[in-house]
Chain A
Amino acid sequence: DAGVIQSPRHEVTEMGQEVTLRCKPISGHNSLFWYRQTMMRGLELLIYFNNNVPIDDSGMPEDRFSAKMPNASFSTLKIQPSEPRDSAVYFCASGLYQGTSVFEQYFGPGTRLTVT
């Protein structure tokens, strides 16, 4: 099993530029999660999808952030325009939604974003 795949692993960009982070979940998983990790705020959920449908996007900081899941094997998180305060590690995780909940969530390696 390849695990959750994220790309790029590192991204350095200038303020104002568009940034797109990509995620391929584990095959067979039907839930996908985007998290952000910073020293100040710790790990926080941005958005999650069940069966490709966004369920909870209350953690998305503002309109500059958007996420899509066009199919079961791919998701993107876009920041436009990017700002220095967006610098963080962005994790994608996937899990199997059964009944009413997901149990284990398996995380990707993360994308370390630096906005200068």
Chain B
Amino acid sequence: AQKITQTQPGMFVQEKEAVTLDCTYDTSDPSYGLFWYKQPSSGEMIFLIYQGSYDQQNATEGRYSLNFQKARKSANLVISASQLGDSAMYFCAMREGNQGGKLIFGQGTELSVKP
């Protein structure tokens, strides 16, 4: 079974609008962490935001926020005020319990920002 599911292979958003990228996860471990990474066309992986399973509040980092709905096992990334430079692949990832640093990645969502 897929541990991390990103159901949107591709998304379009108009510049300056907000966009939500979906991510659902599957784990029976009560302790886990959820991550979002950005991969622009240049290929590097850029860490965006982290949410721990015990965190009470949704994580935010600048224009990025994580809509964490624990009961639904979803960890959607919200990008506010989209910019052209936000066009990239976005990956959701999970670290389970005491797995050290092992991350399991979803298949990614390609976001295109239109001017």
Contacts and interface: CB of A to CB of B under 8 A. Distances in A.
Partners in one complex: yes
Interface stretch (A15-23, A63-71, A105-113): A105-113
Interface residues of A, number: 27
A82 interface: no
A45 B33 contact: no
Contact of A103 (B50, B98, B102, B107): B50
Interface stretch (B13-21, B39-47, B75-83): B39-47
A43 B93 CA distance: 10
B63 to A, nearest CB: 18
Q: How large is the interface on B (under 10, 10 to 19, 20 to 34, 35 or more residues)?
A: 20 to 34
Interface string B83-115: 000000001010101111111111110000000
Given A101-B95, A102-B95, A103-B33, A93 B45 contact: yes
Interface in B30-72: 33, 35, 37, 43-47, 50
